[in-house]
């Protein structure tokens, strides 16, 4: 047999650490929320905020200082004008303005002229321009939220149906969610309220219908997304469409791990119906530990390659994936499984007779 990172007889008491894990998760989430609160919400990229971005390479013979470039474009009076350096690109900058009601061509010309004048007539190569009008950015924002909402909904329904073979309960949950969301929409709530509402309803229904696997999985994915968003806020990164794509992928991927653990729990519950749930969960997490670490590890390897060598355009996307997959692995071990225990699943719980459990 080849190498082994995790010894087969490893018996770590993950459930025993759950209070620490919950405290740790709560801390991460709170720090993220605090950062969002202090900064007045997420920093939206041009997709969601609207405006104009111009990516320009200055053909100067020496290395420029970003300060100089900032000073150079100051003369162009545009609202919210920001200059950003592009990582690992010499003399290449992203210049952004929040104005979208002006002509892109005019903005481009003025900026190029200003930079050229400031650096003794240096040539400026505009490599990319992007303009997103206010209507389109509004649309993209609500579409992104909608996408997150449907992802949570479909995944919750899938897991409750697939895992507990309770498609009826899953259908009830879908109907309940639909009714709740329609009611919220009827009250004219904004999309972000709808999302929070949908999550609350999902978690509430999972709990009420005793769809515990779904409850654990959904709680874990909400956990992962919140922490990734928090980290992005802390690092002052912008949210745009590709980050939403990353978040959705994280949701899908983090469940990947969770499902492997849950699958094992289910298998072990059938095989060892006499055992206490706590030890079954612990055993299952330990048995799947090497897979969980290895699968995430290989994915993290390639995402890291993407992060380090993929270029500036994909950098933030890769960062979101790195954070999300890392947190997702942690949450499938320390968050999803303990929740399964905490809410009394449809298997023999501590001290209960097995016969009673079969019906549940």
Partner 1 sequence: MNTILRWKIILTVAVVLLGFYLALPSLPGVKGTALEKILPHDAINLGLDLKGGIFLTLEVNMDKAVDTKLRRLAQELKDYAEERGVGFLNPKVLDDGTIEVNLHDTAHQDTLDNVISDNFSIMTPSVESLPNGGLRYVLTVSPDYIERFKTETMRQTVEIVRNRIDRRGVVEPDIREQEGNRIQIQLPGMEDAEQAIKVITQMGQLEFKIEASGVSVEQARQNPLEYEVAFVQDDPGAPIVLRKNPVLTGEYIADAAPQFDRNNRPYVMLELDSRGATIFEQVTAANVNKRLAIILDGRVYSAPVINERIGGGRASITGNFTVQKAKDLVTVLKDALPAPVEKAAESTIGPSLGQESIDKGINAAIIGLTLVVVFMVIYYGVAGLFANIVLVLNIILILAGLGAFGATLTLPGIAGIILTMGMAVDANVIIFERIREELRRGLTPKAAVQEGYGRATLTIMDANVTTVIAAMILYQFGTGPVRGFAVTLTLGIITSMFTAIFVSRVLFELYTQNKDSQAKISI
* 117-146 positions binding partner 1, by CB under 8 A: 125-133, 135-136, 139-140, 143-144, 146
By CB under 8 A, residue 12 contacts partner 1: no
DSSP 8-state secondary structure symbol assigned to residue 8: T
Which of 84, 113, 256, 346 is close enough to bind partner 1 by CB under 8 A? 256
Q: Which two tokens stand for residue 266?
A: 């289910």
Q: Kindly identify the residues of this chain, within the stretch 187-206, that bind partner 1 according to CB under 8 A.
A: none
Closest separation in Å from C-beta 189 to partner 1: 20
- The helix (run of H) or strand (run of E) holding residue 99 is none
Helix axes 312-331, 241-271, angle to 10 degrees: 20
Closest separation in Å from C-beta 355 to partner 1: 27
Region binding partner 1 by CB under 8 A among candidate stretches 26-34, 202-210, 223-231, 257-265: 257-265
Backbone angles phi, psi at 118, to 5 degrees: -70, -30
Residue 233 or 329: the one with the smaller Cβ distance to partner 1 is: 329
Residue 81 or 217: the one with the smaller Cβ distance to partner 1 is: 217
By CB under 8 A, residue 346 contacts partner 1: no
Residue 13 or 139: the one with the smaller Cβ distance to partner 1 is: 139
Q: Which of 221, 214, 215 lies closest to 247, judged by CA?
A: 221
Chain-centroid distance of CA 98 in Å reads 26
Residue 180 or 328: the one with the smaller Cβ distance to partner 1 is: 328
Q: Kindly identify the residues of this chain, within the stretch 279-338, that bind partner 1 according to CB under 8 A.
A: 287-288, 290-291, 294-295, 297-306, 308-311, 313-314, 317-318, 321
Residue 21 or 54: the one with the smaller Cβ distance to partner 1 is: 54
Would you call 176 exposed, middle or buried from its count of C-beta atoms within 10 A (0-12, 13-18, 19+)?
middle
Region binding partner 1 by CB under 8 A among candidate stretches 193-201, 259-267, 277-285, 350-358: 259-267
Residue 71 · residue 118 · CB < 8 Å: yes
Closest separation in Å from C-beta 303 to partner 1: 6
By CB under 8 A, residue 249 contacts partner 1: yes
Closest separation in Å from C-beta 252 to partner 1: 3
Instruction: From residue 221, give the alpha-carbon distance in Å to each of 100, 116, 151, 249, 303.
Output: 35, 49, 10, 11, 19
Enumerate residues 6+ apart whose C-beta is below 8 A from 135: none
Residue 211 · residue 162 · CB < 8 Å: no
Q: Which two tokens stand for residue 10?
A: 């490893």
By CB under 8 A, residue 272 contacts partner 1: no
Q: Which of 117, 116, 130 lies closest to 58, judged by CA?
A: 116
Helices and strands (H and E) in the chain: how many: 13, 4
Closest separation in Å from C-beta 298 to partner 1: 5
Q: How many CA atoms lie within 13 A of 201 on its CB side?
A: 23
- The helix (run of H) or strand (run of E) holding residue 89 is none
By CB under 8 A, residue 245 contacts partner 1: yes
Would you call 88 exposed, middle or buried from its count of C-beta atoms within 10 A (0-12, 13-18, 19+)?
exposed
Closest separation in Å from C-beta 237 to partner 1: 16
Per-position x/- string for 64-103, each x denoting binding to partner 1 as judged by CB under 8 A, each - no binding = ----------------------------------------
Q: How many residues bind partner 1 (CB under 8 A)?
A: 71
Closest separation in Å from C-beta 292 to partner 1: 10
Which of 82, 85, 162, 273 is close enough to bind partner 1 by CB under 8 A? 162
């Amino acid at each position: 047999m080849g190498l082994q990172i995790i010894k087969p007889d490893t018996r770590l008491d993950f459930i025993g650490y759950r209070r620490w894990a919950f405290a740790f998760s709560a801390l991460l989430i709170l720090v993220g929320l605090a950062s969002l609160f202090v900064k007045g919400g997420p920093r939206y990229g041009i997709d969601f905020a609207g405006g104009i971005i111009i990516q320009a390479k200055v053909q100067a013979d020496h290395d420029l200082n970003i300060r100089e470039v900032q000073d150079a474009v100051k003369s162009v009076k545009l609202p919210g004008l920001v200059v950003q350096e592009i990582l690992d690109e010499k003399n290449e900058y992203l210049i952004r303005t929040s104005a979208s009601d002006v002509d892109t061509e005019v903005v481009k010309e003025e900026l190029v002229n200003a930079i050229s004048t400031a650096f003794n007539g240096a040539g400026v190569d505009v490599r990319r321009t992007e303009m997103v009008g206010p209507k389109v950015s509004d649309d993209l924002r609500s579409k992104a939220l909608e996408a997150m909402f449907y992802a949570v909904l479909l995944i919750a329904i899938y897991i409750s149906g697939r895992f507990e073979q309770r498609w009826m309960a899953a259908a009830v949950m879908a109907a309940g969610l639909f009714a709740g969301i329609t009611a919220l929409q009827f009250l004219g709530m904004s999309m972000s309220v709808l999302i929070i509402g949908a999550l609350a309803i999902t978690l509430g229904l999972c709990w009420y219908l005793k769809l515990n696997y779904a409850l654990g999985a959904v709680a874990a994915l909400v956990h992962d997304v919140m922490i990734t968003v928090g980290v992005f806020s802390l690092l002052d990164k912008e949210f745009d469409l590709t980050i939403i794509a990353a978040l959705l992928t994280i949701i899908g991927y983090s469940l990947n791990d969770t499902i492997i653990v849950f699958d094992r729990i289910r298998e072990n519950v059938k095989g060892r119906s006499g055992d206490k749930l706590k030890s079954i969960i612990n055993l299952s997490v330990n048995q799947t530990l090497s897979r969980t670490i290895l699968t995430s590890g290989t994915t993290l390897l390639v995402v890291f390659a993407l992060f380090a060598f993929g270029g500036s355009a994909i950098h933030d996307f890769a960062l979101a994936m790195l954070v999300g997959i890392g947190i997702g692995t942690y949450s499938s071990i320390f968050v999803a499984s303990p929740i399964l225990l905490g809410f009394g699943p449809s298997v023999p719980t501590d001290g209960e007779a097995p016969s009673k459990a079969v019906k549940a």
